[in-house]
Amino acid sequence: MKNFVKENLVLIVGLTFPLLLILIFFASTVIPKLMSPPPQYEMLFTTKQYDYQNKTDYLINFSVKNQKLMVKVNKNENKDRSYDLTRLMAYDAKADTVREITVDISKAIATAADGAVVLQETENMTIDTAMVSPDGYRLDGPHYGGGGMVGGLFGGGYRDSGFRLRKGSIGYKIPHTQQHYYYNQVQFVGWVIKK
């Protein structure tokens, strides 16, 4: 056995070194996540949905006032209307789920004369608009990385790391649950600190 190791040292190192690197990278990403609690607060954000069959009749704007989510709906008077619909989403990192909070536009229009009104679907929520959540997480935007020369040769190309909730070296990627949503247009709204 000793002779085999001596004669094939380069081969053994060549095979074990990549495996060792994989284990180190795996441990450096998984262990901190296991040792730290996941984000405790849901994050509200807006994104766009492209609906090629229907033009947008109303423009929806969200804001937070006195820790309540407000919605303002305006008739879209632009003759060159887009097909992008604004959607309100909530990300729960503990369950690793994204859900849409459906806005009843007819109710929002009926209750608002000219201004913004409390969004009825979220009226029981208390929302914090600080960039950092009370437990220390923040929304981190997508990073695009090139595959380099070797990656380019083997089809690596550019990749999008997506939006994440990040705290130090710990990150929770917001999953793409609906492929037709433009997650590269995520707009932070706030943290749900009380339901």
Residue for token pair 């704007």: 61
**By C-alpha distance, which of 158, 166, 68, 83 is closest to 121?**
68
Instruction: Name the band, by pLDDT with cuts 50, 70 and 90, for residue 158.
Output: very low
Mean pLDDT, residues 126-131: 95
Residue for token pair 């006032």: 65
Which amino acid, residue 105? Answer: I
Mean pLDDT, residues 110-114: 60
Phi and psi at 7, nearest 5°, equal -75, -25
Query: What are the respective helix, strand and coil percentages of the chain, to the nearest 5?
Result: 25, 40, 35
Q: Would the pLDDT of 110 be above 70?
A: no
Q: Quick: pLDDT tens for 66-81.
A: 999 988 887 777 666 5
With b meaning 16 or more CB within 10 Å and e meaning fewer, what string describes 131-146? eebeeebbbbeeeeee
Q: What is the structure's pLDDT at 153? A: 45
Q: What is the structure's pLDDT at 139? A: 92
